[in-house]
Amino acid sequence: MRPSAYERHRELLQSVVGALAAGEHRRPFTEATGQDAADAGMRSARTAGKVFGSLLGRPFDLQQPGALGHVRTESSPYGVGPGIDYQRCDPAELVAAAGRAAAGWRAAGPHQRAGLAVEILRRLNTRSHELALAVHHTTGQPMPTALRAAGPRAQDRALEAVALAFAESERVPADLHPEGAGRGGRPLALRGTCTLVPRGVSLLIGCPDFPLWNGFPGLFASLVTGNPVVVAPHPRSVLPLAITVRVARQVLAEAGHAPDVVTLAVAEPEQQVHRRLATHPAVRIVDFTGSARFADWLEQHAHQAAVFADRTGLNTMVVDSTDDYRGLVRSLAVSLCLCNGTVRTTPQNILVPERGFGTDEGRKTLRDLGSDLGDAVDRLLRHPARVARVVGAITADEVRDGLAEAARYGPVLHASAPVAHPDHPSADTRSPLLVRLRASDESIYTREWPGPVSFLVGTDSISHSLAIFRRTVARHGALHAAVHSTDPLVLAAAETAALEAGVDLVANLSDLPADPSSALADLPGAGAHFVTGRFRVVRSRWHNPRAAPTPAAAAEPFTVPVPEPAVVAASAPGLTELIDL
Amino acid sequence: MRPSAYERHRELLQSVVGALAAGEHRRPFTEATGQDAADAGMRSARTAGKVFGSLLGRPFDLQQPGALGHVRTESSPYGVGPGIDYQRCDPAELVAAAGRAAAGWRAAGPHQRAGLAVEILRRLNTRSHELALAVHHTTGQPMPTALRAAGPRAQDRALEAVALAFAESERVPADLHPEGAGRGGRPLALRGTCTLVPRGVSLLIGCPDFPLWNGFPGLFASLVTGNPVVVAPHPRSVLPLAITVRVARQVLAEAGHAPDVVTLAVAEPEQQVHRRLATHPAVRIVDFTGSARFADWLEQHAHQAAVFADRTGLNTMVVDSTDDYRGLVRSLAVSLCLCNGTVRTTPQNILVPERGFGTDEGRKTLRDLGSDLGDAVDRLLRHPARVARVVGAITADEVRDGLAEAARYGPVLHASAPVAHPDHPSADTRSPLLVRLRASDESIYTREWPGPVSFLVGTDSISHSLAIFRRTVARHGALHAAVHSTDPLVLAAAETAALEAGVDLVANLSDLPADPSSALADLPGAGAHFVTGRFRVVRSRWHNPRAAPTPAAAAEPFTVPVPEPAVVAASAPGLTELIDL
């Protein structure tokens, strides 16, 4: 007999669970070594282009229920090939199919589910380059970022969610020793079990920029805790999640499970399939990474569901002083250019005192910073090869509209202009926009601007900057905040402000991976809640006449005397002894 | 120097945390032994009446901000003394005061918070009998139940929530070893911290029947995870929570904390103070035990908050067969009478096949069961002493109206009639109502009926019963379900139905404590989520030039080769080496 997926992956899984418990991180996919891994990587790299090419211009079918025809919603910002037609399925049918698949998936138990989740990841790992091409050609992300966000690092992040969900499932006690009373109030031998009960159908709303990186944690946490998942990609980036769903369905079917535990929901944008699914009564979990506006909408309308929303919000940088002005300018320039401002760490709002700030190169004004930053961006983008590696292509009209609109609100410190892409001359590749605003322009800089739009906001003082930071981020959320200061008091105040605003903070770092590889630290609401909110625990208890009564089942008097004539406590073991029928 | 509350209670706390981790339960308050405990219990019992008496007929002030005058909303169903006037405070002022107190409470950290929580419980423990009298005289619960639901068992339940919250807080890693890159892409030595960030102001909506039992877990879980709590009791039962708030404020003030970490919000019912508080933008957590209707309202309107709602719903019993007919009838009779049907285990809907069911006394029809049950209730309530111990008094017109209305919907198998209370002849003490319904009367038996209203619902078969059970409980929730059957197949099917409906099940038990003492198993959504949903984790990271780079910070190449000319991965450590300024 073939060993189960759990048996095959038990060691890997246990090692990641153990590392998590020890506060460490293991990255088995990223750190895979040896000839096998090298061969697999080479194979994946060599075949990716061909496999990817074979997907283009033909229907991508998944044999799902409720098919209503085909739909094409993507177009490559790099102009690669004709688009792909996906099956459009009735969303209600997909939810119903997930509901039918739920009982079997729940009964499979956490071991089997975690084993199959690892198997899905293992197969995705062998297709890392194909997935990276799919991300590159739908999101416009430059290829190095696409591989990072779709390959081994994304799989390790998913594996951490699998391990966390598995560990939390394991914490549910299997056996209970409840108490009860039988005839005449004699203690009864009871037995009981605890069962993890999944919440219900889970919905993953795909993100247009990092569909796998942001989608994997919710997808895998839901699967391992027993919830079937309907995956609804963003219309602009369907393919990476479609390949993921296909692999998941294959693994499920091979293991004898209903493939409809994971389905794909694609539709024309005007069908509002995300809203329809998110408010479906049977959808009980929603995962979303994106604008605070849609996150708010979800929390206001998807009452029936637990909503795990990671709000992109208002990434903010507070500049007070620095002993590495050049490093600050250089890293900020990269941040503004990188992936068109879509990475988690790019600041939209840079708060700087109007009167300037101290540096290792003397006092700098806000105007100095704007000018140096603009120059640094221009130098960075002078080389077309760097444009290809760093910037990526713009895919959405809303980004183009945002760039045009934002430029009207203040002095433009760096204009967004076309830059040449060496390989794809037709790609819409642009430099970032940097606009100077006043602190009073809050209505402008508290909007979320998609794409490479950043504001240099002049404030009265560092206290004023911190107050704006705390207030705006507490209200609108953010993925990331940064502070630059040489003053320990300012750093401490910034840390307090970040805690109050509920946002991660980095201090005095020129450079930080845009996407830290630890999923755990990076999950919406960071931590165990991300997993424990996906299930509840149900108890079942019964009389076991053959077992001896456990000590806990003995009658328990109150230690403190009751201020009334001695009585047996109502509803305590032995209640029925009050009654002689 | 006086040891901190944490130091004083460290041993107790650690023993409960350890027991939880081992899947066991410790009950230090219930199981306290020795002369000290006996003396304390005796003192509490002796002084309770006097202390309780001294509270009556005078203002109960807490020196809270925003006082707008006094309000009296309670009246004793046993006619004891004049009511108590509570300060009515502007709810917005209470939330603002909680917000001001939040920073200091957050900064106190989990150790100090857990220590103070235990200290609050320890002091409540010395007032167990006073609290029991407060519950008895506001809710109408019989005295033994009141002591159980307000005394050591309730404190142990709260202690378990404290320990769980403390343990989850401890799981947040204190130190991080993140990765980053400095000038020229050299790995940087970084340091970082993780901080538990409380969600915000917490609201406890008090329950009219078991204000402490149902209120303690949320109150203490919020406090230990750093959230200030506004306690808004049910207008009919303010005093038990008011005493609790007073004790908490004393403990906080003595330890140098702002007492407004815990405040009391009382108002006339028409002020809708619960709704106003639950939708206040700064209220981020709501705890509620009660009707599914108000729980639904909360989830639909309190978008800004995490809602922990325990729906009383439709407690259901499925009867298929039994080898202890007499025991079944007897325990069911007690359940119907007990505390006017307000305990967690009393069935509202009893599903029985119309054609009858097998028992150790031969086949019984639905009519037999109704008649035997009615007789058993009458025998039980024949003795006034038992009425005092078991039934309690009705406090609400909605219960009286429900009894009158429900009797009109079908043949009355047992009419609700006045029964004499030996000590309080003026108390409104009634026997339970039992009405026969058909399966098609779903619109009646899927309403939640407060008070001692139960329905004997005739079904076509056991399968029909289980289908009704699964559908109605999945839709409307329930705290408890029971099945009686001698057929293992039926028991298995009932267990599956309970899992699908998401409700705890007991099988073939004549008698079970109405309120199991383990909070953990009994919390809304059962388990860790109850605690982890009350905070998030925020990271702070900075450059530590004096420390050596950790191995994790070394450059990490992708193991699998990139299918493009070799590049440094964008956003990976070493990004800035792409740029020469």
Mind listing the pLDDT tens digit of every residue in chain A (581 residues)? 678 999 999 999 999 988 887 777 788 998 887 888 888 888 888 888 888 989 998 899 999 999 999 999 999 999 887 789 999 999 999 999 999 999 999 999 999 999 999 999 999 999 999 999 999 999 999 998 999 899 998 999 999 999 999 998 887 766 665 554 444 445 556 677 888 899 999 999 999 999 999 999 999 999 999 999 999 999 999 999 999 999 999 999 999 999 999 999 999 999 999 999 999 999 999 999 999 899 999 999 999 999 999 888 999 999 999 999 999 999 999 999 999 988 888 999 999 999 999 999 999 999 999 999 999 999 999 988 889 899 999 999 999 999 999 999 999 999 999 999 998 988 999 999 999 999 999 999 999 999 999 999 999 999 999 999 999 999 999 988 999 999 999 999 999 999 989 898 999 986 655 444 444 455 444 567 889 899 988 888 887 554 433 333 222 222 222 333 222 232 333 333 333 33
Structure tokens given for B242 = 């008011």
Q: How far is CA B460 from the centre of its chain?
A: 36
User: Counting Cβ atoms within 10 Å, is residue A109 exposed (0-12), middle (13-18) or buried (19+)?
Assistant: middle
Q: What is the Cα–Cα distance from B289 to B312, expressed in whole angstroms?
A: 7
B163/A396 Cα distance (integer angstroms): 50
**Whether A457 contacts A445, CB under 8 Å:** yes
Asked whether residue A520 is domain-assigned, the answer is no
Q: Does B571 touch chain A (CB under 8 A)?
A: yes
Question: In this structure, is residue A526 part of a structural domain?
Answer: no
Residue B541: inside a domain, yes or no? Answer: no
Please enumerate in sequence order all residues whose Cβ is within 8 A of that of B240, keeping only pairs 6 or more positions apart, or say none. Answer: B131, B134, B135, B138, B150, B211, B212, B233
Pairwise CB contact (< 8 Å): A570 & B46: no
Per-residue pLDDT tens over the stretch B214-234? 999 999 999 999 999 999 999
Give the pLDDT of residue A519: 43
Walk across the sheet containing A59-60 and list its strands.
Answer: A59-60, A85-89, A67-71
Structure tokens at B545: 């030039």
Beta-carbon pairs below 8 A across chains A and B = 370
The answer on A376 and A283 residing in a single domain is no
- Distance CA(B249)–CA(B268), nearest Å, equals 23
Smallest CA–CA separation between B41 and chain A, in Å? Answer: 4
Rounded Cα distance, A517 and B572, in Å: 10
Does any domain span residue B79?
Answer: no
Strand partners, A290: A311
A369 belongs to a structural domain = yes
Of A513, A104, A147, nearest to B555 by C-alpha is A513
Whether B549 shows a pLDDT value over 90: the answer reads no
Average pLDDT of chain B, as a whole number: 86
Check residue B119 and give its pLDDT: 97
List phi, psi (to 5°) of A195.
Answer: -125, 135
The answer on A265 and A339 residing in a single domain is no
Establish if A198 belongs to a structural domain: yes
Contact A533 B537 (CB under 8 A): no
Q: Per DSSP, what are the bridge partners of residue A198? A: A535
Q: Are residues B125 and B143 in the same domain?
A: yes
Q: How many residues would you count in chain B?
A: 581
Last residue of a domain, one of B311, B343, B359: B311
B124 and B231 share one domain: yes
Flag whether A521 is in a domain.
no
Residues of B in contact with A521 (CB under 8 A): 176, 194, 537, 539
What amino acid occupies position A133? L
Nearest to A464 by CA among A319, A314, A313, A312: A319
The helix or strand, by DSSP H or E, that contains position A398, with its residue range, turns out to be helix A397-406
From chain B, pick out residues whose CB is under 8 angstroms from the CB of A137.
none
Pick among A47, A125, A298, A571 to test the B interface (most B CBs inside 10 A)? A571
pTM confidence score = 0.88
User: Is A369 found in the same domain as A220?
Assistant: no
**Separation between Cα atoms, residue B399 and residue B392, nearest integer Å:** 13
Which residues of chain B does A523 touch, with a Cβ-Cβ cutoff of 8 Å?
none
Phi, psi angle pair for B70, to nearest 5°: -120, 160
Cβ-based neighbour number of residue B418 at 10 Å: 10
Together in a domain, A364 and A403: yes
Read off the pLDDT band of B57 (50, 70, 90).
confident
Length of chain A in terms of residues written: 581
Q: Do A581 and B330 touch (CB under 8 A)?
A: yes
- Domain co-membership, B285 together with B193: yes
Q: Is B63 exposed, middle or buried (0-12, 13-18, 19+ CB in 10 A)?
A: exposed
Name the residue type at position B293.
R
Measured in whole angstroms, the distance separating CA B486 from the mean position of its chain's CA atoms is 33
B537 touches chain A (CB under 8 A): yes
Give the end of a domain, one of A311, A338, A353. A311
Q: How many CB atoms lie within 10 A of CB A29?
A: 25
Question: Could you tell me the two tokens for B263?
Answer: 């405040």
Alpha helices in B453-549 (DSSP H): 462-476, 488-501, 529-532
Q: What is the pLDDT of residue A261?
A: 98
Same domain flag for A421 and A568: no
- For B64-81, give the DSSP string: -TTEEEEE-----TT--S
Answer for the pair B506, B199: CB distance below 8 angstroms, yes or no. Answer: no
Q: DSSP string of B112-154? A: HHHHHHHHHHHHHHTTHHHHHHHHHHHH---HHHHHHHHSHHH
**What gap in Å lies between CA B237 and CA B289, rounded to an integer?**
14
Residue A579 CA from chain centroid, whole number: 58
At B406 the pLDDT is 97
Q: Which of B326, B115, B61, B106 is nearest to B199 (CA)?
A: B106
- According to DSSP, residue B391 is labeled I
What is the domain extent for residue A470?
Answer: 316-512
Same domain, B287 and B417: no
Residues B438, B347 share a domain: yes
Residue A174: give its domain's CATH number.
3.40.605.10
The set of residues, in sequence order, having a beta carbon less than 8 Å from that of B416 and lying 6+ positions away, is B403, B407, B430, B431, B432, B433, B452, B453
Instruction: Tell whether A286 and A348 lie within a shared domain.
Output: no
Query: Where among B459, B483, B512 does a domain terminate?
Result: B512
* CA gap B476, B448 in Å, rounded: 9
The DSSP call for residue B547 is S
The H-assigned helical ranges of A176-228 are 211-224
CA–CA separation, B62 vs B244, rounded Å? 11
pLDDT of residue A191: 75
Beta partners for A320? none
Whether residue B150 lies within 8 A of chain A, CB to CB, comes out as no
For residue B244, pLDDT beyond 50: yes
Give me the residues of A, 201-260, that contact B with CB < 8 A.
Answer: none
CATH number at residue B402: 3.40.309.10
Nearest residue to B318 via CA among B328, B333, B307: B328
Q: Which amino acid is at A192?
A: G
Rounded Cα–Cα distance for residues A20 and A156 (Å): 13
What pLDDT is recorded for position A93? Answer: 98
CA distances from B401 to A436, B313, B407, B437 (A): 66, 19, 10, 19
Those residues whose C-beta lies under 8 Å from the C-beta of residue B247, and which sit 6 or more positions away, are B120, B123, B124, B127
Measured distance CA(B319)–CA(B330) in Å, rounded: 14
Q: B179: which chain A residues are within 8 Å (Cβ-Cβ)?
A: 512-513, 516
Nearest CA to CA, how far is A24 from chain B (Å)? 9
Contact at CB, A561 and B45, closer than 8 angstroms: yes
| B116 found inside a domain | yes
| pLDDT value of residue B183 | 46
Q: Is the dihedral of CA B254, B259, B261, B263 positive or negative?
A: positive
pLDDT at B544 over 70: no
Q: Around Cβ A94, how many Cβ atoms within 10 Å?
A: 26
- The structural domain count of chain B equals 2
**pLDDT reported for residue B564:** 33
CB-CB: which of A175, A330, A507 is closest to B542?
A507
> Which positions in chain A touch B173 (Cβ < 8 Å)?
23
The answer to whether residues A231 and A170 belong to one domain is: yes
Q: And the tokens for A519?
A: 């999923």
What's the distance, Cα to Cα, between the start and end of chain B in Å? 59
